[in-house]
Amino acid sequence: MLIRYAWRELRHSPRFCLLFILNLSLGLLGFIALDSLKRSFSDRLQDSARQMMAADLALSSRKPFGNEDLSAVASRLPPGTETQDMLTLYSMVASAQSSALVELKGVSEGYPFYGQIQLENAGVHRGSSALPLLRTAEVWVAPELLIQLDTKVGEALRIGKKDFIIADVIVDDSAASMVGTSMAPRVYIGQDKLLESDLVQFGSTAWRSKLFKLPPDADSKELQTLINKDLKDPGVRIKSYTEAGQDNGRMLGYLSDYLGLVSLVAMALAAIGASYLFRVHLDQRQKSIATLVSLGLTHERASLLYLMQVLALGLFSAILASLLSMGLMPLGAKLLQNLTPVAISPALSWPSYALSLLMGTVGAALVCLPLLARVRLLKPSTLFQEGAGGLAHEAHPGSWVAYLPALVGFYGLAVWQAHSWRVGSLFVGILAIVLCIFVVFALLLLKFLSRIKAGKTLSTRLAITYLHAHRSHTISAFVALGVGATLINLIPQIQHSIQSELQRPEGDGLPSLFLFDIQEDQVEGIQSLLTNEGIKPNSVSPMIMARLTKVNGQPYQRSGKDSEEGGGPETREEEEQQRFRNRGVNLSYRSDLAQAESITEGQFFQKPFAGDGNAIAELSIEERYAERMGFELGDQLSFDVQGLPIEGRVTSLRRVKWNTFQPNFFILMQPGAIDDAPKTFLLTMPEVKDQERALLQKKIVSQFPNVSIIDVSKLVAKITALVEQMALVLVVMGWLTVLTGNIVVFSIAHQQSIFRRWDHNLLKVLGADLKLIMRANLKEFGLLGLATAILGSVLGLLASFIISKVVFKGLWVPSLLLPTALASLLLLVCLLTAYAATRRTLGRKPSLQMDELQG
């Protein structure tokens, strides 16, 4: 019986059904699509990181591994783990014409476990194919090396004491997908053959690695932690692929987090819209409910009747959203593939559909639960009163409990989506606070309106009276519109911040060649060579090798804690940190900030170092490096620059945009302090056409044979394409949120207008001018829209700041244009909706029967 009545009610409420389904299915569609896109980016991120390391886990050391450590690692690795060895070192190699510094990678059978090496002649090499480098004395080389050595495929290359044949040229290498990680062109060689070259001797600087491919269900991060604890030799490092790829990985991570946030916002908007619409639906049905109760239907069964309606609509919305996503996702995937060469293929999974179904039904029921609880408080005795009203509008003590299941459910969803308790709690916390702020402001607004009633025009008085008389409706519309406005503002603000990070500064050209090891006396020569070719270098940076010895007077070889207690490091992390600290650092100096840099704390160098008396040179540190090393403004750092002690004080922290691909040094010293120290120079060249680039390389090498050249043009192009794709996704998602939010705003404004129909009818009956009614209605919605848009914009800006601080590591670049534009849009939607709905009502004949206005 209840099912039949539920169905009948829905059939007679087509507008409510349509708007409810539109709201919920849009939210669910957004959630499914974004979840899939997020997963696709996440997969892409993981794949890219795996390919960069060519394995799941890598064990590495400068010395041969000890048996104890190898046994410890072996005992932790799950059955089915595959292993291979790799040897990496920098060395000079020579052709018949010239010599150059190269990065030698001695690989073994099965390399790479992940990713591929694209060769000019042999095509793609994957780990599954046999590695010809192991059988014959052959090598694969980076294309720029052929130019630098004036040689070609098929010719010999002297490595150590042995000659190798250049068998092929590396066109693309997935293990080299970061710019600036290698300081010389790469050469692939069989590991055994590399050993035969006698380059690796006792005391040679070479990295020995063991690469591991884990079974699919193994957790590399967890294994890394476990193995780390077991390792005895502090010189041995274990690294998971999750650590590979820094900047573009970080940005992909941001994008993934952003998409997660957008999907949560889409769901929150849908929940607000659905909840508001259902509330209005229940209000319109209050007489029916009261009548049913007066006829003997229990309050519980009356609630059940409406719960069934919510479940049916939720189910329909979920099915609709799933069907739409089935149709739209392949289209979206195709579009993404066409737009950029990077493979991002969002695909839908059954768990996504199941989740959508669960959220559509159980989620919708939870959101509407507080409203259903109000049915239990219904007073059917009001049926005996004129203009019957039955549902309790005022807050009932303990009624907040009914909101708990929805809140807990949404909290669970947020935590699941963000994969973080902290981020999930932050989002739900912010949403709850925003909700409370809007309730308080709604009450304040009503109080304020009650005081300014007198002395205004009739339309203004009517508008204010409406808002005041339907207090409960005004509050709920204000809160729903306001939270919607906040969310509409939040996403584009965050989008703007991430996009600003992705944007390259104007005029900062992309590099195509990196030139290393330029001697001081060669700088002028290279620059004039380039000038003759019509090329202006992007940057020329001095590079001084140094070792950090002290921080604030304390020896830096040992941590502060060690020096205080006299003991060694207690944990492996401390040991690792110590090793990192003891590593050599490259210092540089310059008087101006690069276009890609900005000062986040302190002040950049104002003048060259004078070196008077006890003056200490100023230091500018890259902010993330400072965070990792624990450096703060005012810290005094001591360096050993090839035997000479140099002091510096941290006076500024810099943020560096990574996607300019310009060389940037962690530590910059004030000009004049170390200018005379022995140094080499690093030069980057702007984009040059392929053929010109090859010729240029030849000219540089012929005149300056010691200079190493790395061609980064292809890699830069690849990463730039990825960045463009990210920017596209950001923009599309940001505007989709605005669209979804405005549909919710439309639904709310539309229902509010319908709610006013009887009042408008009465005014017409009483002979009110149609323009007067329209003006009053527009003023009412204008006030609601304006107040919520302004407050929503401010709160959206604040929320974006907090979320950016926590989730996006302080990446916050506010835009004032955005809130202004969005607030105007929201106000416009409110006014247009009110106008359209009022026009429709005003077009009807006045009636003395309220029932005639139904439907």
Partner 1 sequence: MSPLVSVRALSKYFRQGDSTIKVLQNLNFEVLAGETLAIVGQSGSGKSTLLSLLAGLDQPSEGEIRLRDKSLQAMTQAELTRFRGQSIGIIFQQFHLMQSLSALENVLLPLDIAGVSNARELARDALHAVGLSHREDHVPSQLSGGECQRVAIARAFVVKPALLLADEPSGNLDAATGEKVMNLLFEAVQQRGMTLLLVTHDRELAKRCHRQLVLQQGLVGSNN
Residues that bind partner 1 (CB under 8 A): 1, 5, 8-9, 11-13, 287-288, 290-301, 379-381, 383-385, 388, 851-852, 854-855
Instruction: Assign 686 to helix, strand or coil.
Output: strand
Select 305 or 336, whichever has its Cβ closest to partner 1.
Answer: 305
Q: Which has the closest alpha carbon to 826: 736, 745, 737?
A: 745
Let me know: does 27 contact 272? Beta carbons within 8 Å.
no
Select 286 or 777, whichever has its Cβ closest to partner 1.
Answer: 286
In the numeric block, which tokens belong to residue 561?
A: 């804690």
In whole angstroms, the minimum distance from the beta carbon of 844 to partner 1 comes to 14
Let me know: does 270 contact 27? Beta carbons within 8 Å.
yes
Select 294 or 642, whichever has its Cβ closest to partner 1.
Answer: 294
In whole angstroms, the minimum distance from the beta carbon of 850 to partner 1 comes to 9
In the numeric block, which tokens belong to residue 483?
A: 């939270």
Select 388 or 529, whichever has its Cβ closest to partner 1.
Answer: 388
Select 297 or 426, whichever has its Cβ closest to partner 1.
Answer: 297
In whole angstroms, the minimum distance from the beta carbon of 474 to partner 1 comes to 22
Crossing angle for the helix pair 817-842 and 757-765, to the nearest 10 degrees: 50
Select 8 or 689, whichever has its Cβ closest to partner 1.
Answer: 8
d(CA 34, CA 256): 9
Select 158 or 396, whichever has its Cβ closest to partner 1.
Answer: 396
d(CA 466, CA 130): 80
CB-count burial class (<10 Å; 0-12, 13-18, 19+) for 693: buried
What are the counts of helices (DSSP H) followed by strands (DSSP E) for the chain? Answer: 24, 22
In whole angstroms, the minimum distance from the beta carbon of 286 to partner 1 comes to 11
Select 72 or 304, whichever has its Cβ closest to partner 1.
Answer: 304
d(CA 503, CA 154): 43
In whole angstroms, the minimum distance from the beta carbon of 854 to partner 1 comes to 6
Q: Is the peptide bond before 112 cis (omega within 30 degrees of 0)?
A: yes
Select 450 or 591, whichever has its Cβ closest to partner 1.
Answer: 450
d(CA 259, CA 494): 11
In whole angstroms, the minimum distance from the beta carbon of 1 to partner 1 comes to 4
DSSP code at position 570 = -
The vertex-366 CA angle with 363 and 369, nearest 5°, equals 150
Q: Which has the closest alpha carbon to 416: 428, 399, 434, 398?
A: 428
In whole angstroms, the minimum distance from the beta carbon of 308 to partner 1 comes to 14
In whole angstroms, the minimum distance from the beta carbon of 13 to partner 1 comes to 8
In whole angstroms, the minimum distance from the beta carbon of 292 to partner 1 comes to 7
Select 50 or 374, whichever has its Cβ closest to partner 1.
Answer: 374
In whole angstroms, the minimum distance from the beta carbon of 294 to partner 1 comes to 6
The Cβ-side half-sphere exposure at 303, using a 13 Å CA radius, reads 16
Q: Which residues of 536-569 are buried (b: 16+ CB within 10 A; e: fewer)?
A: ebbbbbbbbbbbbbbbeebebebbeebeeeeeeb
Let me know: does 589 contact 668? Beta carbons within 8 Å.
yes
In whole angstroms, the minimum distance from the beta carbon of 282 to partner 1 comes to 14
In whole angstroms, the minimum distance from the beta carbon of 847 to partner 1 comes to 11
Select 207 or 755, whichever has its Cβ closest to partner 1.
Answer: 755
Select 13 or 680, whichever has its Cβ closest to partner 1.
Answer: 13
Let me know: does 224 contact 10? Beta carbons within 8 Å.
no
Q: Convert 461-500 into a string of H (helix), E (strand) and C (coil).
A: HHHHHHHHHCHHHHHHHHHHHHHHHHHHHHHHHHHHHHHH
